[in-house]
Structure 1
Amino acid sequence: MNSHEMEAHTMTGHPVYFNQAMTLFDAANSEDPNQDEGQPKELLYAQRMSDMIGRFAPGASEAAQLAVRAQHIRRWAVPRSGYPMTKEGYHAWRTGLYTFHADTAAGLMRQAGYDEVMIERVRKAVGKRGIKVNPDTQLLEDVANLVFIEHYMLGFARSKPDYDEEKWLVIIRRTWEKMSKDAQAFALSGKIRLPESLVPLITKAISP
């Protein structure tokens, strides 16, 4: 039994559909031409998302498990360079990505056999609709931010050497504010690896 099948038998109501959808998601992300640690970048990201939801919310819904796996599905197909290099262009790119990821996940779930009720539930989460009010969307947001802190924050910091402390405090606070209280507590519980060199900044940013 592979890891998908183990998840499906213990965590979902539709194991055959779930296994097929996860396989299709991974196949799509395996086509990423960008590499990270010797793997297709978005495939590794998706695996990290599934790992984190298993650690943070082991009883997560089937929809949430599917949504976190599809969070960045085929992201390279919508490059930032396709939008104006302005603040407005950046926000348009992000909004376009949400729709693209949601539509891509929906199409693959349809191939896997899911009905439109489950597809729409995952579309809503992946499309970032209802943060703070829709549990699946908020859980996706929590997991994404926990993964960013553990795996990507340090690399992002190194890529922005011109950012001063105040800029970093703003970035960390914005990340923190998007997370639920449970996710904030989990981040500080020792159950994720905080980027050691940034811990003083993180502590300062989240202090009352």
Structure 2
Amino acid sequence: MATSDRLLVAFQHFDEANKQDPNTEDFEGTTYPKEVLYGIRMTERLNKFAPNASEALQLTARCQHICRWEIPRDSYEMNREGYLRWRQELKKFHGEKASAILKEIGYDEETIAMVKFLLQKKQLKKNEDTQTLEDIICLVFLEFYFEPFAIKHPEDKTIDILQKTWKKMSLKGQEATLKLPLSKFSLDLITKALHA
């Protein structure tokens, strides 16, 4: 099977798994299972940001939240320690889910190992693919999820999250952020965070 064909088959399998998501999101007149839409957004942003991305990175971007609803946030303590434990558990969970699908459609162990490595965000700031993945995650968050989040939370918490997000991004990612189609509300908060 040609690489591009197999990649599309992997995307279809990831999307099929994510179609089980009971949470939905409306976007441009269509209702999507939430994690299907997230995966599509990750792929689209990666294609714009890094059109020559490795196949492992393309796979990882698409499955980054695979079946996330199966481990809800409220299954852990609602504090920072609980949040960190939840995130660590999710990384392992996503790696296992993605690996099973990739094995089933004939991916080699090296590619599968790299997808698992990237899903754990190892060597951020050191590994180019890990950094690109983090940039894409941040860009998708800022473009589609930040404003609904910011409206529900105090400004000081929002600014703290923006500052942490900014630090995780590369210079290229930061520059791409300022070119996103953001509202004045979001841009004002980002400006405030950067000059705080």
Query: TM-score when scaled to structure 1?
Result: 0.87
Q: Structure 2: any 5+ residue segments left out of the alignment?
A: none
Among 37, 52, 56, the residue aligned to 2:45: 52
Among 5, 12, 29, the residue aligned to 1:23: 12
1:53–1:143 Cα contact (<8 Å) kept: yes
Letter of the structure 1 residue corresponding to residue 191 of structure 2: T
Query: Alpha-carbon deviation of 1:207?
Result: 3.6
Q: Quick one: distance in 2 between partners of 1:134 and 1:101?
A: 20
Letter of the structure 2 residue corresponding to residue 200 of structure 1: D
Equivalent position of 2:59 in the other structure: 66
Equivalent position of 2:185 in the other structure: 197
Equivalent position of 2:161 in the other structure: 171
1:181 aligns with 2:171: yes
Letter of the structure 2 residue corresponding to residue 195 of structure 1: S
Equivalent position of 1:4 in the other structure: none
1:101–1:127 Cα contact (<8 Å) kept: no
Q: Quick one: distance in 1 between partners of 2:73 and 2:158?
A: 22
Q: Quick one: distance in 2 between partners of 1:156 and 1:65?
A: 27
**Aligned residue pairs: how many?**
192
Letter of the structure 2 residue corresponding to residue 198 of structure 1: S
Q: Any idea what SS the aligned residue of 1:193 has?
A: coil
Query: Alpha-carbon deviation of 1:168?
Result: 2.4
Among 106, 120, 126, the residue aligned to 1:133: 126
Q: Structure 1: any 5+ residue segments left out of the alignment?
A: 1-7
Letter of the structure 1 residue corresponding to residue 164 of structure 2: R
Query: TM-score when scaled to structure 2?
Result: 0.92
Query: Alpha-carbon deviation of 1:200?
Result: 1.4
Q: Any idea what SS the aligned residue of 1:24 has?
A: helix
Letter of the structure 2 residue corresponding to residue 28 of structure 1: A
Q: Quick one: distance in 2 between partners of 1:25 and 1:198?
A: 31
Equivalent position of 1:36 in the other structure: 25
Equivalent position of 2:69 in the other structure: 76
* Aligned alpha-carbon RMSD (Å): 1.6
Equivalent position of 1:5 in the other structure: none
Q: Quick one: distance in 2 between partners of 1:171 and 1:195?
A: 18
Letter of the structure 2 residue corresponding to residue 205 of structure 1: A
Structure 1 residue runs of 4+, over 4 Å off? none
Letter of the structure 1 residue corresponding to residue 100 of structure 2: G
Query: Alpha-carbon deviation of 1:169?
Result: 2.0
Q: Quick one: distance in 1 between partners of 2:120 and 2:95?
A: 5
Q: Any idea what SS the aligned residue of 2:15 has?
A: helix
Equivalent position of 2:92 in the other structure: 99
